[in-house]
């Protein structure tokens, strides 16, 4: 499916999603808050394929299928290139309220986690930030900061779920294999399991 057809599909699903929300008034507890983390798209010459750029369209489609099934009340994520931005794009097309948590300033994060990989991620990032609720965490732009961001993401999702008297679900978009002890996505998955949050996984391969 090319990007134009995909966006047209998103528009139709967004209308259906809003209609479903109206029909489900009083039944919000059936609609979860989704918190997501996942792989960035691979850098050129990556020795191990975790999210090949050639798979972007297919992963976008898998995300669409998953969110259509889960029908989230809200969507919480960071904004890195790859899994985060694709999921935020799909959620936006479905008119799902989005909460984007950034460890550092939008400009710094854009430089270190968005535009340093192949693809037009900068344009999508800018668009997502303009149409989402953005929270700046003022954390170090480092491994330590990214791990702390994982905790804040889950905290934010759980707070929203409590506010709306509903449940939380974690969405992990990755190659389903740990990179090592410093794996940020693996840390997110571990935290979700520790808090007994149901996990849905989407493969980037």
pLDDT value of residue 142: 85
CB 106 within 8 A of CB 134: yes
Q: What is the CATH number of the domain that holds 39?
A: 3.40.50.450
pLDDT per residue as tens digits for the range 185-204: 999 999 999 999 999 999 99
Please give the Cα distance from 49 to 30 (Å, whole number): 37
pLDDT per residue as tens digits for the range 66-76: 999 999 999 99
Range of the domain at 193: 3-203
pLDDT value of residue 13: 54
pLDDT per residue as tens digits for the range 14-63: 544 444 453 444 455 589 999 999 999 999 999 999 999 999 999 999 99
CB atoms within 10 A of CB 28: 12
Report the candidate in 72, 83, 92 with the shortest Cα–Cα distance to residue 37: 83
Question: What are the backbone angles phi and psi of residue 42, rounded to the nearest 5°?
Answer: -65, 145
Domains in the chain: how many in total?
1
């Amino acid at each position: 499916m090319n990007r134009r057809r995909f966006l047209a599909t998103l528009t139709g699903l967004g209308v259906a999603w809003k209609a479903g929300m109206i029909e489900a008034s009083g039944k919000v507890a059936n609609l979860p808050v989704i918190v997501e983390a996942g792989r960035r798209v691979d850098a050129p010459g990556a020795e191990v394929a975790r999210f090949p750029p050639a798979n972007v369209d297919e992963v976008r489609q898998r995300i669409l299928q998953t969110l259509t099934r889960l029908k989230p009340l809200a969507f919480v994520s960071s904004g890195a290139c790859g899994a985060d931005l694709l999921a935020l794009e799909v959620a936006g097309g479905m008119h799902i309220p989005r909460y984007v948590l950034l460890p550092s300033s939008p400009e710094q994060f854009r430089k270190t986690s968005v535009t340093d990989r192949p693809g037009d991620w900068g344009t999508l990032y800018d668009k997502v930030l303009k149409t989402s609720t953005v929270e700046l965490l003022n954390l170090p732009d480092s491994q330590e900061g990214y791990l702390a961001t994982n905790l804040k993401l889950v905290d934010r999702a759980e707070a929203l779920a409590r506010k709306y008297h509903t449940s939380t679900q974690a969405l992990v978009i990755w190659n389903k294999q740990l990179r090592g002890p410093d794996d940020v996505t693996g840390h997110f998955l571990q935290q979700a399991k520790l808090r007994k949050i149901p996990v849905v996984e989407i493969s980037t391969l």
